[in-house]
């Protein structure tokens, strides 16, 4: 079997910024695709698969732009399939295992509430490509958020068992949410240049959105302020390694395949 070497990426602030968002979308899209054929009902099987396709579509556009911004011989396929685990910069939240249905929907709820606010704000980016990607992605994230919110209410205000599982998922995943609002020096420079938006300014609205839905669901948000960090810097949980071994297996085994 032919061994394919990991690619190297020139991580300028812009390239790194775009890769982080692309990796979020790709990894979460792959996680949701794992539900295909296993969701609790046919309608939900289709819904989760469609959300996964939306996210992978976002990843494709972002990887293509990252490759263009880098200006080397990398393309969307190489960026998605031929980087080492430490080169991935996705949020730790999105790589967490699906767990039960409640954990999958809580993970989606936390991420989509942020993504909807983020993409809406990014429509004003001075980078015209990112602004265009944001305009398309926001329409999709609005649906993703609505879908997840309805399920959180349904699970929380349902049976004792569904309530227990939803609350357990919230308690478990909460500590992975703080990373969404962290920025480093390179990203701060892009914010000052009007290319990126400061995610910190979204936190208040994000918390309010979560609080409204969780309250209606008769659930509660944790008060713990301690948060996991590391995904944006390439430090991941063991779960991402297992995910990538599956995600990259075809391209590693049969180099040169395309989407």
Distance CA 130, CA 126 (A): 8
Average pLDDT over residues 2-21: 89
Asked if 37 and 49 count as a contact pair (C-beta separation under 8 A), the reply is: no
Predicted confidence at residue 212, as pLDDT, reads 98
pLDDT (tens digit per residue) in 187-220: 999 999 999 999 999 999 999 999 999 999 999 9
Residue that is written with structure tokens 């699970």 in the block: 155
Cα 4 from chain centroid (whole Å):
26
Predicted confidence at residue 249, as pLDDT, reads 85
The topology (CATH level 3) of 13-220+228-253 is Ferritin (1.20.1260)
259 has a pLDDT exceeding 90? no
Predicted confidence at residue 20, as pLDDT, reads 98
pLDDT (tens digit per residue) in 84-119: 999 999 999 999 999 999 999 999 999 999 999 999
Distance CA 101, CA 97 (A): 11
Could you count the other beta carbons within 10 Å of the beta carbon of residue 144? 24
| % of the chain at pLDDT higher than 90 | 88
Average pLDDT over residues 217-238: 96
**DSSP 8-state assignment for residue 72:** S
Q: In the structure, what pLDDT confidence band is assigned to residue 1 with cuts at 50, 70 and 90?
A: very low
Average pLDDT of the residues of the chain: 95
Nearest of 53, 180, 60, 40 to residue 109 by alpha carbon: 180
DSSP codes joined into one string, 13-78: HHHHHHHHHHHHHHHHHHHHHTTTTTSSSHHHHHHHHHHHHHHHHHHHHHHHHHHHHHTSS--HHH
Cα 20 from chain centroid (whole Å):
9
Residue 105, CB half-sphere, CA atoms under 13 Å: how many? 27
pLDDT (tens digit per residue) in 152-168: 999 999 999 999 999 99
Nearest of 22, 80, 83 to residue 258 by alpha carbon: 80
- For the chain, the structural domain boundaries read 13-220+228-253
For residue 107, what are the CA distances in angstroms to 16, 35, 123, 125, 155? 24, 14, 24, 27, 14
Predicted confidence at residue 257, as pLDDT, reads 66
Q: In the structure, what pLDDT confidence band is assigned to residue 178 with cuts at 50, 70 and 90?
A: very high
Q: Which tokens hold the place of 162?
A: 């569904």
Average pLDDT over residues 228-244: 96
Distance CA 119, CA 25 (A): 12
pTM for the model stands at 0.95
């Amino acid at each position: 079997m032919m061994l394919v070497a990991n690619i190297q990426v020139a991580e300028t602030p812009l390239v790194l910024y775009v890769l982080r968002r692309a990796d979020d979308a790709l990894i979460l899209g792959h996680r949701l695709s794992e539900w295909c054929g296993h969701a609790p009902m046919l309608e939900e099987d289709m819904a989760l698969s469609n959300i996964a396709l939306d996210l992978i579509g976002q990843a494709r556009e972002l990887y293509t732009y990252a490759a263009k911004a880098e200006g080397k011989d990398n393309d969307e396929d190489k960026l998605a399939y031929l980087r080492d685990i430490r080169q991935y910069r996705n949020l730790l939240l999105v790589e967490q295992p699906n767990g039960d249905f409640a954990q999958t929907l809580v993970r989606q709820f936390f991420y989509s509430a942020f993504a909807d606010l983020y993409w809406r704000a990014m429509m004003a980016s001075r980078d015209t490509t990112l602004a265009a990607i944001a305009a398309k992605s926001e329409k999709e994230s609005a649906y993703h958020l609505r879908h997840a919110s309805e399920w959180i209410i349904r699970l929380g205000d349902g049976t004792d068992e569904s309530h227990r599982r939803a609350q357990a998922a919230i308690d478990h995943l909460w500590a992975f949410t703080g990373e969404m609002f962290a920025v480093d020096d390179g990203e701060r420079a892009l914010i000052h240049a009007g290319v990126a938006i400061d995610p910190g300014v979204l936190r208040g609205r994000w918390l309010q959105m979560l609080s409204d839905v969780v309250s209606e669901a008769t659930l509660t948000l944790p008060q713990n302020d301690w948060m996991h960090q590391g995904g944006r810097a390439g430090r991941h949980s063991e779960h991402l390694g297992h995910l990538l071994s599956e995600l990259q297996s075809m391209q590693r085994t049969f180099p040169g395949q395309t989407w």
